[in-house]
Amino acid sequence: MGNMDDQDKDNQRIMDNPVKTGVFFCTCGHMMDDYFDIKALMDYAGRACGVACVGQNRSLCTKSGLEWLTARISVCGCDRIVIAGCSPHQHELSFMKVLEDAGLNRYFLTIANIREGCAWVCRDKADCMPKARQILSSAIRRVAVAKPVEKVQKKMIPSTLVIGAGLSGIQMALELHRMGIEPVLVEKQPQISKRNPLLSTCIQGAQGMQGMQGAQGSQCTRGGDGTWDTRGAQGMADEEIFASKVKELGDKKIEILTSSEVTQVSGGPGAFRVTLDSKGQEKTLEVGSIVVSTGSRAGDGPFTAPGQGVTPLRPSHRIVGLSRMREMITAERRTLEQILVTADKRTKYVCFILGEGKQGKGKGQSQDQSQGTFTKTATIMALNEAIALKKQFKAEVMIAARDITVCGTEMESLYRQARQTGILFFRSPSDSHPQVSVEKGVISVRVYDPALGAGAALGSVSGSSPVSGSALASSSASASGPVSGSGTGLVSGSASTLVSASASGNGSSNGGQEGDCGRPVNICADLLVFEDEILPAEGTESLHTALKVNLNKGGFYQEENIHLKPNLSNRKGVFLAGACHGKEDIYETLNDVRSVAMAVYSTLSGASAIPGGCVIPGYLETERKVVIDTEKCALCLTCIRTCPHRAIEIGEVAAGQKWGAKVIPEACQGCGICAGECPAKAIEMIHYSDNQIFSELTFEG
């Protein structure tokens, strides 16, 4: 709280220049009459200090009621207004508009909430009147010491800094250029490259690819092997599209700064000052907004599977991640053939484990949270790669996962195609993780399938399925391997027996409760594929420090509100696009890019941060809700550290004056944290000052 000297000065100013307050009651039809003696309340308000006019209307929030209010303000010459009625959340903006039309500052208004705050919580009418008088008195005293809040109009710089020249960054620059906004593309690498192999892999059907192709006009159809994105014609399409987009950047003469990193950002929306380290030299840019599109990256191991103990599995030519598997299918076929095509001519087995092979948990995440974060991407990649391995290399493929997420365009049909192709799926129980062991070069995987419960009879199957058991017949699998099993769980000891189903359940992780987790299935895999852990892009920590934006528990950029503002950071004017905050596949990335591009255009082309404010082309209209007394400011930097919106900076308050903290009105949200934390009481919220709070606490019955 401020000191009493400030309050005394404001009270003296009011006594020297008395205000004329108008108090107007809204009875919400006849509802208020059931709770209050409105005439007695009006008499009470009329006797209050500074009240010049008292009125009543049955529906003050309607068009006719607002017109009546405008006329009464003009006739009475009021310069402060109190509305006694419902919650300010209902119609406060409408009443503020009336004040502005009457030539008054919109903050010369106070709402006395006698409906929700009094009538609806008091059962007895006798209890309503004392509380209503107290609320009314507090509102009259508060509005009497109200100060005007100044409007500020800031000229917007029509340019945007796009950080990261990946797929999303390039598409963002092209979208902004099309809208007439000058983009500046910054890339830390010496040249532009498609840094994230996961992004192009996760194609959500034809619509996603057509969005990236744009003017290319080529249609997105299935490749020769039936997948959406493997080695065939479709496997190279994304590379060609990426190259065409890079060429389009040059054709449109969009500025690209390679070997450059952001080191410092100051200012606010409409006028950011960005310092870059560009090829060893310092470069300063002034832009109106900033878009972060740094993407993500796949972890490179080691992989930790729950069943193999504390020793992690090191990546090798037979234990790989999904992204590495894709590289082998598309560009290193010889390496893959050496594993899957051997002289013994036997069938080769590939096992995918999804949701279990994470490198670790994100910061502050539980194991379940980390497993559910990227299941969709892993599913799309695994299905594509499994079909390719089945069709191109004649391998038998098994996928073990807690769940298969196929929410997306054409993904359900892709899953069905995988089933029809003969790929086996094992749904791992939540309490029975796949167990992996590697001994003398032999990769053994034990999974549990609830479909093979205690009551499932395992009959001998030969030459028809790589896994024995009646419950697996629904997978429509066919294989040519000499595999056999029996109801007793005995497995042939020959080298050709690669997969077996056990009925004993002795290795069950839940103490042998087969009815809960199903029978164990043992797989001897030639190739083991784990789900990649998706990590923030390199340099995210240093960049978030320079931008002064928040990161989430997983190390990705944090949205301001994941439901209402999914593309905005906590710093106004800094936007997030693509995989840098968790979006992964091309379809979602394109939606992200379009959404951010429209938000940037809306901001830079002219906007108002004031609810109900006017829009001036090329200007941002906002309010100066916070003022700092530089004489009291001790430069302790408390406000800098506590402001969640990075709306305060240190500098010369005016040319030639002392240095101190100053507020950036365009970035300020008016939350009041700085005013509450300032130890010198040098910061004041104009529309919620200490004097107003003291006035409300003083009740004159």
What tens digit of pLDDT does each residue of 270-284 get?
A: 889 999 998 889 999
Q: Is residue 373 part of a domain?
A: yes
pLDDT tens readout for residues 624-661: 899 999 888 888 999 999 998 889 988 877 666 678 88
Q: Is residue 115 part of a domain?
A: yes
- Quick check: 313 pLDDT over 80? no
Spatial contact of 423 and 397, defined as CB atoms under 8 Å apart? yes
Stretch 390-410: mean pLDDT, rounded? Answer: 82
Residues 518, 576: one domain? no
Distance between CA 304 and CA 358 in Å, rounded? 6
DSSP 281-303: EEEEEEESEEEE---EEE----B
Q: Say if residue 520 is preceded by a cis peptide, omega within 30 of 0.
A: no
Dihedral (Cα; 406, 408, 413, 414), 10-degree rounding: -60
Residues 393, 526: one domain? yes
pLDDT tens readout for residues 213-264: 443 333 333 444 444 443 333 344 566 777 888 888 888 889 999 999 999 9
- Quick check: 416 pLDDT over 60? yes
Per-residue confidence (pLDDT) for residue 481, from 0 to 100 = 37
Per-residue confidence (pLDDT) for residue 507, from 0 to 100 = 41
pLDDT tens readout for residues 73-102: 999 999 999 999 988 888 888 999 999 999
Residues 317, 221: one domain? no
pTM: 0.73
Spatial contact of 679 and 281, defined as CB atoms under 8 Å apart? no
In the block, tokens 């502005």 appear at 100
Spatial contact of 542 and 498, defined as CB atoms under 8 Å apart? no
Per-residue confidence (pLDDT) for residue 560, from 0 to 100 = 86
- Quick check: 266 pLDDT over 80? yes
Stretch 534-550: mean pLDDT, rounded? Answer: 90
Q: Where residue 478 falls among pLDDT bands split at 50, 70, 90?
A: very low
Q: Where residue 409 falls among pLDDT bands split at 50, 70, 90?
A: low
Strands of 223-259 (E only): list them.
255-257
Q: Is residue 665 part of a domain?
A: yes
Among the residue ranges 63-67, 137-141, 447-451, the one predicted with the least confidence is 447-451
Residues 513, 543: one domain? no
The CATH number for 51's domain is: 3.40.50
Provide φ and ψ at 485, rounded to 5°. Answer: -155, 165
Q: Compute the half-sphere exposure of residue 600: CA atoms within 13 Å on the CB side of its CA.
A: 34
Among the residue ranges 153-167, 176-190, 217-231, the one predicted with the least confidence is 217-231
- Quick check: 675 pLDDT over 50? yes
458: Cβ contacts below 8 Å, ≥ 6 apart: 452, 468, 469, 470, 485, 486, 487, 489, 501, 503, 519
Q: How many domains, in total, are found in the chain?
A: 4
In the block, tokens 């108008």 appear at 22
Q: Is residue 153 part of a domain?
A: no
- Quick check: 511 pLDDT over 80? no
- Quick check: 172 pLDDT over 90? yes
Choice between 364 and 296, residue whose per-residue pLDDT is larger: 296
- Quick check: 320 pLDDT over 60? yes
The CATH number for 676's domain is: 3.30.70.20
Q: Which of 559, 577, 605 is the last residue of a domain?
A: 605
Spatial contact of 297 and 533, defined as CB atoms under 8 Å apart? no
Q: Is residue 610 part of a domain?
A: no
- Quick check: 7 pLDDT over 70? no
Sign for the CA dihedral angle at 588, 592, 595, 601 comes to: negative
Q: Which of 547, 571, 605 is the last residue of a domain?
A: 605
Of all residues in the chain, the percent with pLDDT exceeding 90 is 29
Residues 491, 559: one domain? no
Q: Is residue 49 part of a domain?
A: yes
3-state DSSP percent of the chain in helix, strand and coil, to 5: 35, 20, 45
Residues 573, 599: one domain? yes
Per-residue confidence (pLDDT) for residue 387, from 0 to 100 = 93
Residues 132, 229: one domain? no
- Quick check: 541 pLDDT over 80? yes
Per-residue confidence (pLDDT) for residue 301, from 0 to 100 = 64
Render the burial of 157-196: b for 16+ CB within 10 Å, e for the rest: bbbbbbbbbbbbbbbbbbbbbebebbbbbbbbeeebebbb
Per-residue confidence (pLDDT) for residue 485, from 0 to 100 = 34
Q: Where residue 456 falls among pLDDT bands split at 50, 70, 90?
A: very low
Distances (CA, A) of 185 to 162, 167, 250, 317, 469: 5, 12, 12, 37, 57
3-class secondary structure, 561: strand
Q: How many helices (H) and strands (E) does the chain have?
A: 20, 30
Per-residue confidence (pLDDT) for residue 341, from 0 to 100 = 73
Per-residue confidence (pLDDT) for residue 202, from 0 to 100 = 44
Residues 180, 220: one domain? yes
For residue 430, how far is the Cα from the chain centroid? 27
Distance between CA 325 and CA 13 in Å, rounded? 76
Residues 312, 388: one domain? yes
Residues 426, 521: one domain? yes
Per-residue confidence (pLDDT) for residue 339, from 0 to 100 = 82
Angle between helices 88-101 and 63-76 (to 10 degrees): 50
The CATH number for 254's domain is: 3.50.50.60
Residues 313, 366: one domain? yes
Q: Which amino acid belongs to residue 460?
A: S
397: Cβ contacts below 8 Å, ≥ 6 apart: 349, 350, 351, 352, 386, 389, 390, 422, 423, 424
How far does the chain reach from its first CA to its final CA, in angstroms? 25
Distance between CA 340 and CA 336 in Å, rounded? 6
- Quick check: 469 pLDDT over 80? no
Stretch 563-570: mean pLDDT, rounded? Answer: 86
3-class secondary structure, 199: helix
Q: Which of 530, 547, 581 is the last residue of a domain?
A: 530
Q: Is residue 494 part of a domain?
A: yes
Give the length of the chain: 701
Three-point CA angle 429, 432, 434, nearest 5°: 100
Residues 354, 439: one domain? yes
Per-residue confidence (pLDDT) for residue 81, from 0 to 100 = 94
Three-point CA angle 620, 626, 629, nearest 5°: 130
Q: Is residue 154 part of a domain?
A: no
Radius of gyration of the chain (CA): 34
For residue 7, the enclosing domain spans: 1-148
In the block, tokens 């974060």 appear at 373
- Quick check: 461 pLDDT over 50? no
